[in-house]
């Protein structure tokens, strides 16, 4: 069995390294009912795929991926799982080109694979698109939330799949408001980690239910 595992891992490494483009990892589940609440894992009835497609072999076990569909959302000590298709992919936009930021269909990811362990990093930005001006020259920007998700998976040679072992999840926060008539014209809030409260730690999440990405 050990020799079979070694051979399978070697073949998979060769596959990723030599013919990486087009290889995909797919997990099928149900979309989250609540778009932005990371603690709400209630699934809807909408079937969806979390899909990582290998775009480029960078060398040294490093790969560029494209994520569509979203990421599994779960919390510790709870078996419920849904797929977050909103904050995991998020928005992008340049005013001169796009006008308002628009929701993305896919987002880039970066991966490292050593033949057994696969680590994937996904960064996204979500916004409520609620900027505006008020009375007396007041203004406020949208509430902007940068997200970082680091997935740790292990390869299963018998099933040609990857089991998700942990996700390191972090949400930041950026917001500006103020008034042109004030002595201090604007106030900026920038929090690198804002998950449960101000200046907290990233969440280290371990699924209690099996989450398997199938190699396609």
- Highest mean pLDDT out of 38-42, 181-185, 196-200: 38-42
Q: Residue 39 phi/psi, 5° resolution? A: -95, -5
Place of tokens 């796009």: 98
String of DSSP letters for 45-58: EEEEEEEEEEEEEE
Predicted TM-score (pTM) of the model is 0.87
Q: Residue 44 phi/psi, 5° resolution? A: -90, -165
pLDDT at residue 203 is higher than 80: yes
Instruction: Please tell me what DSSP assigns to residue 22.
Output: T
d(CA 156, CA 146): 32
pLDDT at residue 121 is higher than 90: yes
pLDDT at residue 109 is higher than 60: yes
Predicted pLDDT of residue 172: 95
Listed residue (106, 96, 101) closest to 127, CA to CA: 101
Domain boundaries, the chain: 2-215
8 — pLDDT class (breaks 50, 70, 90): very low
d(CA 22, CA 57): 11
3 — pLDDT class (breaks 50, 70, 90): very low
pLDDT at residue 12 is higher than 70: no
Q: What is the pLDDT of residues 27-60, one digit of tens each?
A: 999 999 998 899 999 999 999 999 999 999 999 9
Q: Residue 15 phi/psi, 5° resolution? A: -60, -50
Q: What is the pLDDT of residues 65-105, one digit of tens each?
A: 999 999 999 999 999 999 999 999 999 989 888 888 999 99
Q: What is the pLDDT of residues 133-172, one digit of tens each?
A: 777 778 888 899 999 999 999 999 888 899 999 999 999 9
Strands (E), the chain: 24-32, 43-59, 62-68, 71-73, 82-84, 91-92, 102-103, 106-113, 117-127, 132-133, 138-140, 144-156, 161-171, 173-179, 186-191, 203-205, 212-215
* 203 compared with 184, residue with greater pLDDT: 203
* 146 compared with 115, residue with greater pLDDT: 146
pLDDT at residue 7 is higher than 50: no
Those residues with Cβ within 8 angstroms of residue 42's Cβ, 6 or more apart along the chain or in another chain: 32, 33, 34, 80, 82
Cα distances (angstroms) measured from residue 182 to each of 69, 132, 133:
44, 17, 14
* 91 compared with 12, residue with greater pLDDT: 91
């Amino acid at each position: 069995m050990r020799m079979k595992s070694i051979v399978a891992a070697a073949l998979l490494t060769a596959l990723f390294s030599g013919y990486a483009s087009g290889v995909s990892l797919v997990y099928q589940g149900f979309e989250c009912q609540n778009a932005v609440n990371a603690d709400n894992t209630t699934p809807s009835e909408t079937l969806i795929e979390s899909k990582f497609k290998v775009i480029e072999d960078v060398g040294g076990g490093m790969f560029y991926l494209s994520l569509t569909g979203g990421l599994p959302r779960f919390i510790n000590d709870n078996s419920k799982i849904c797929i977050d298709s909103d904050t995991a992919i998020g928005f992008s936009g340049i005013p001169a080109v796009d006008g308002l930021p628009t929701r993305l269909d896919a987002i880039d990811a970066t991966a490292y694979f050593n033949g057994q362990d696969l680590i994937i990093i996904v960064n996204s930005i979500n916004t409520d698109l609620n900027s505006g001006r008020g009375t007396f020259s007041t203004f406020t920007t949208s509430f902007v939330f940068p997200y970082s998700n680091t997935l740790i998976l292990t390869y299963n040679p018998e099933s040609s799949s990857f089991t998700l072992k942990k996700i390191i999840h972090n949400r930041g926060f950026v917001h500006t408001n103020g008034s042109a008539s004030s002595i201090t014209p604007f106030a900026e809030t920038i929090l690198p980690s804002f998950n449960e409260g101000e200046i907290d730690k990233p969440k280290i999440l371990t699924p209690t239910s099996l989450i398997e990405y199938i190699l396609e």
